[in-house]
Structure 1
Amino acid sequence: MVARINHGTRIAGVLLYNKLKLDAGKGRVLLCHNLPLRPVDGRIDTRELCRAFEPWLAHPHSRVQEPVFHVSLNPHPGDKLDEMQLTEIATYYMEHMGYGDQPYVVYRHDDIARSHLHIVASRVQADGRAVNYQDYKKRSKALTEQIERLFGLIPAVRGQQQRPFEELRKVCYKDSDLKAQLASVLHHLTDRYRFASRGEFSTLLRLFNVWMEECRGEVAGRPYAGIIYGALDEQGEKVGKPLASSRLSRQFGYKALTQEYESTKRWIRDNRKALAPTRAAIREAMKRCRSAGEFAQALRPAGIAVIFHRSREHEGRIYGVTFIDHRNGLVVNGSRLDKGFAANRFEELFTARAQEPETHALSQQEMPRQMTIREMPDAPTIPTPEQDIWTEHIEAQPWESHHGMGLLGVLMDEAARDTWEPRTPIPRRRRKKKRRNL
């Protein structure tokens, strides 16, 4: 079983998302805990449910900035569970995560090949304080493993685990609820990948038709900085109105991303041994590959994808290279990973090899065996290495993606990773107390 936890500011959007599943006949309400409502035939009045949560979320003494708790519990497709068992699992999980006295509602979703749960709760306790969230990801993972043993479920171990996040797919502007699509992609990618710059994060987002931009300025003499996100069409052009990060989550804002960049830079410096196999795989591929396509395929067995950024103004010259190390959950520029992986090095290498006889070309026997990727319903079609993806990037220059079997497919497989490093919680700014004149 895999758990996916989100914290949010507005409960109405989460409840509306679940209501849409109910209206489509792809979901049922299993339980309302510590709420003055009861589901009838698997349905409930969403408007009344919002009102029932209000006294908790609007607590006069609460300073919780993201008071909404939303978790999805995803059993293995081979686990055949009835509603009673699913309800027991949900209750056990919430009790041991510290939400036993909190109001929450449990939904069952049947919109994919297996039944899974969505639970929405208030993080604000009766006294206005937040439910303990320290190391919540570690505690949640240990708890899901305990539930697997207790209920006899198929364990979500590496190589056996299911793909729990079917909603991880390219953003489609034409579909409804663009905000929910953006939030889904951002949550999944920031949970599973580190990045040390805006450019690295932007490269990852563009694979899912999402663009980001920093906004800086000055208002009334005070400087400000923020982030906006928006959708791209299949040609890489911006479409629709962008959304400010504050409408999605604080963790996608300027301050949180700046902290993430610095944290990743420290991680890269402190984990040279962990990245040694990645560097070795890249160096080995550089010795024998003649082209960007061959290079990408040679890296695939090592769990590495590569994106070459090319300049249309300079006849497709490589001006940047980004590696996505799926095993370490890292998106990194080539020169940051190693000085020998700079863009100019690859430009010189592939140009020189193209002019040589095909002694360096990989034979069919030497080509690495490509991994099988299970098809997902409604998953986007990914271009092959021979196809160019031209889209706006740094200084309106295009970029080219070479990713063998399809980088998005790998990202979807990696979305179900069973290990991760907990993020450092963002410290809250303390209010200064006013002194009283005695």
Structure 2
Amino acid sequence: MVAKINRGASLYGAVIYNQRKVDEATARIIAGHRMIADLTGNPDNVMQQTLWAFDSYLAANRNTEKPILHISLNPSVDDNLTDGQFAELAREYMQKMGYGDQPYIVYLHEDIDRRHIHIVSTCVKENGEKISDTYEWNRSMKACRELERKFGLKQVEDKRKELLEPYLKKADYQSGDVKKQVSNIVKSVFGTYRYQSFGEYSALLSCFNIEAKQVKGEFGEVPYNGIVYTMTDDTGKPVCTPIKSSLIGKRYGYEGLEKRIGYNAREYKAKKWQPKIRNEIALAMHGCRGNREEFVRLLADKGIDAVFRENDEGRIYGATFIDHKNREVYNGSRLGKEFSANAFERLFNNPDNIPNVDAHMPDIGLQSGFSSDMESAIEQAFGIFAMEQNGPDPQEEALARRLQRKKKKKRRSRGIS
């Protein structure tokens, strides 16, 4: 079981989030403590009465910036709990965390494959005292392990995977609520996968039937940049109108993505993460004997997606690989010229001319033909979104040559041969 504890300033925001799901019949109120109740003993569905239950607590302490607790308890998708067991799970968790005497309301969410509960409460006591959150993360982990044993729940080894698994599947237009599906997928992959260009980010989303496009223009003579997301079918054909990134969240727009790409690039340059899939790709290139479908299948068996981009003539101009096991995305040329778009164009069109790729080559740093310093300079010159064009770019190649000449001149001026 995975527990997520969020703190906020708005009680209304936490309650309305859950109430909307109740109104949409994708969530139900199953329990509460010190709440205004109806005749059956359950918290009243009337939202205003839910808010009133917290009034005296919040009024007693107006100095705490984030007095609202919004907790989610997420058992494994394999766990089957009754409403009563979920209610008891919430009660015991709150007791173990020191919130057992606080008012709280429990919502059972059934909007994804994994049923889970949300608990809205406050960390402020009725006398105005704030409940300590010291070592909260450790205490929460301990409580989860104890409750897993008591309720016979599956023990989660990978928390991130367990939380994201229900969202990390292809979008399906027939399932309805297109905006919600697109939003969930974008939010799930944005910060959990590592990529270093818009091209890599776009290729990643395409694995989940989402298309990301940059939009540029002017409004009142002021230039703007943005991103729109569109759901597609399995062939990549759009099946809905584009959704502005602002409708999903500011973080998932142009500036937010630019920051994320910059962060990932710095981490990569510092060798905090490096490719682990060169050997798998090399072996698949030898094993497929020039058959593209077989190449894709061999990689898929290893948890790797291969995404190729083609021009109108059918020529491959981009190759990107998504390592789902390690949550990393690489343009082929970033792995080395042996894995560039041209290499695959030759491989799939000349089955008898299998490239000489070392299946045991070491996973060293950048092998794209440029030094790390030069790649950094190109990023600064063209912007990080232009970093990955998935094919030869005359301007980029010209700039690279100029930078290389300057670098050599600088070395000679220092007496370095």
Using the alignment, how far apart are the partners of 1:133 and 1:178 within structure 2? 41
Query: 1:157-236 alignment to 2 at 5 Å?
Result: 157=157, 165-166=165-166, 168-173=168-173, 176-219=176-219, 223-233=223-233, 236=236
What is the alpha-carbon distance in structure 2 between the residues aligned to residue 156 and residue 123 of structure 1?
27
CA deviation vs aligned residue, 1:333-366 (integer Å, no higher than 9, x gap): 112233432111111222222x469xxxxxxxxx
Counterpart pick for 1:21 among 20, 25, 28: 25
Equivalent residues in 2 for 1:388-399 (5 A)? none
Mapped contact 1:214–1:228 kept (Cα < 8 A): yes
Judged with a 3 Å threshold, the aligned counterparts in structure 2 of structure 1 residues 278 and 13 are, in CA distance, closer, same or farther, namely same
Other-structure match for 2:74: 73
* 8 A contact 1:71–1:119 mirrored in 2: yes
2:117 is matched with which residue? Answer: 118
| Partner Cα distance (1:183, 1:139) in 2 | 32
Q: 1:216 to 1:60 in 2, by over 3 A?
A: farther
Residue 260 of structure 1 is matched in structure 2 by 260
Question: What is residue 249 of structure 1 aligned with on the other side?
Answer: 249
Quick check: 2:164–2:188 contact (8 Å CA) kept in 1?
no
Question: Secondary structure of 1:30's partner?
Answer: strand
Alignment of 1:337 with 2:338, yes or no, is no
Which amino acid in structure 2 is aligned with residue 323 of structure 1?
Answer: F
Amino acid of the residue matched to residue 71 of structure 1? S
Q: For 2:31, give the aligned amino acid.
A: L
Deviation, 1:286, is 2.5
Identity of aligned residues (%): 31
Q: What TM-score comes out, normalization by structure 2 length?
A: 0.63
**CA contact under 8 A between 1:34 and 1:102: conserved in structure 2?**
yes
Give the corresponding residue for 1:421. none
CA contact (8 A) 1:185 1:208 kept: yes
Unaligned runs of 5+ in 2: 355-387, 390-417
Over aligned residue pairs, what C-alpha RMSD do you find?
A: 4.8
SS in 2 for 1:156: coil
CA distance in 2, matches of 1:232, 1:18: 29
Give the direction of change, closer, same or farther, for the CA distance of 1:201–1:191 in structure 2 (3 Å limit). same
Following superposition, the deviation at residue 306 of structure 1 comes to 1.2
Structure 1 residue runs of 5 or longer lacking an equivalent are 358-393, 396-438
Structure-1 residue corresponding to 2:282: 283
Q: Return the alpha-carbon distance in structure 1 between the equivalents of residues 196 and 49 of structure 2.
A: 41
- Structure 2 vs 1, CA of residues 259 and 124 (structure 1 numbering), >3 Å: closer, same or farther? farther
What residue identity is the alignment partner of 2:72?
V
Contact 1:33 1:105 in 2 (8 A): yes
Q: Equivalent residue of 1:192, what SS? A: coil
- In structure 1, the residue corresponding to 2:350 is in which secondary structure? helix
Instruction: Tell me how far apart the structure 1 counterparts of residues 102 and 230 of structure 2 sit (CA, whole Å).
Output: 35
C-alpha distance in 2 between matches for 1:171 and 1:309: 20
Deviations 1:382-434 (A, max 9, x none): xxxxxxxxxxxx99xxxxxxxxxxxxxxxxxxxxxxxxxxxxxxxxxxxxxxx
Compute the displacement of 1:83 (Å): 4.1
**Is contact 1:76-1:154 (8 Å) kept?**
no
Distance in 1 between residues matched to 2:85 and 2:286, nearest whole Å: 55
Report which of the two structures shows the higher radius of gyration computed on alpha carbons: 2
DSSP 3-state at the match of 1:31: strand
Residue equivalent to 2:144? 144
Q: One-letter code of the match for 1:204? A: L
Give me the whole-angstrom Cα distance separating, in 1, the residues matched to 2:214 and 2:7: 23
| Cα distance in 2, alignment partners of residues 176 and 157 from structure 1 | 32
Instruction: State the Cα distance separating 1:206 from its structure 2 match.
Output: 2.7
The residue number in structure 1 matching 2:302 is 302
The reply to whether residue 321 of structure 1 matches residue 322 of structure 2 is no
**In structure 2, do the counterparts of structure 1 residues 308 and 221 end up closer, same or farther at CA, with 3 Å as the change threshold?**
closer
Distance in 1, matches of 2:64 and 2:149, equals 37
1:21 counterpart SS class: coil
Contact residue 31 and residue 38 of structure 1 kept, 8 A = no
Q: Is the 8 A contact 2:34 2:102 kept in 1?
A: yes
For 1:310, the aligned partner's letter is E
Aligned length: 346
Asked if 2 retains the 8 angstrom alpha-carbon contact of 1:32 and 1:38, the reply is no
Question: What displacement does 1:196 show?
Answer: 1.9
Q: 1:133 offset after TM fit, Å?
A: 12
Contact 1:226 1:253 in 2 (8 A): yes
In the superposition, the TM-score normalised over structure 1's length comes to 0.61
Q: Secondary structure at the match of 1:281?
A: helix
CA distance in 2, matches of 1:279, 1:243: 35
SS in 1 for 2:345: helix
Match of 1:350 among 348, 355, 358: 348
